[in-house]
Amino acid sequence: MKKVYPVILTPSNIGYVVYVPDLDINTQGTDLANAIDMARDAIGLWGITEQDMGRSIPEPSLELPGHEPNQIATLVDIDFDAYRRANDNRTIRKNLTIPSWLNIQAEKAGVNFSQILQDALKERLGIQ
């Protein structure tokens, strides 16, 4: 589900403060590009949290909000489904089979099986 929300960027001592009027949330960024990224992240996190709580994500306004001369009003797009996929860190249980001798050696060495599997999968899939 893709949506585009209007935001207001206000210059500050450390970059920009971002306000999303439709959701009444704020975030900040070190420069314009970072502020837009942070806005997208804040909107995405807010939206999937609302979904997880059984609430719907409100439709965005169709017009840019009023703003002061030193502020920037712009639009930020978000794909809530893609955001959820990229940020879903819930754990799931996987059953796997290894030879008994290998299990004994790994346990003696204090191997964290879950971490080894995660690392190997990330390497195999080219994920950082």
The residues spanned by each domain of the chain are 2-87, 92-128
Whole-angstrom distance, CA of residue 118 vs CA of residue 126? 12
What pLDDT is recorded for position 127?
A: 81
The structure's pTM equals 0.71
Chosen CATH of 2-87 out of 3.40.50.410, 3.40.50.300, 2.40.50.140, 3.30.160.250: 3.30.160.250
CB count, 10 Å around CB of 35?
25
What pLDDT is recorded for position 122?
A: 87
Across the chain, what does the average pLDDT equal? 93
What pLDDT is recorded for position 45?
A: 94
Condensed to tens digits (0 to 9), the pLDDT of residues 67-126 reads 999 999 999 999 999 999 888 777 788 888 999 999 999 999 999 998 899 899 989 998
What pLDDT is recorded for position 29?
A: 97
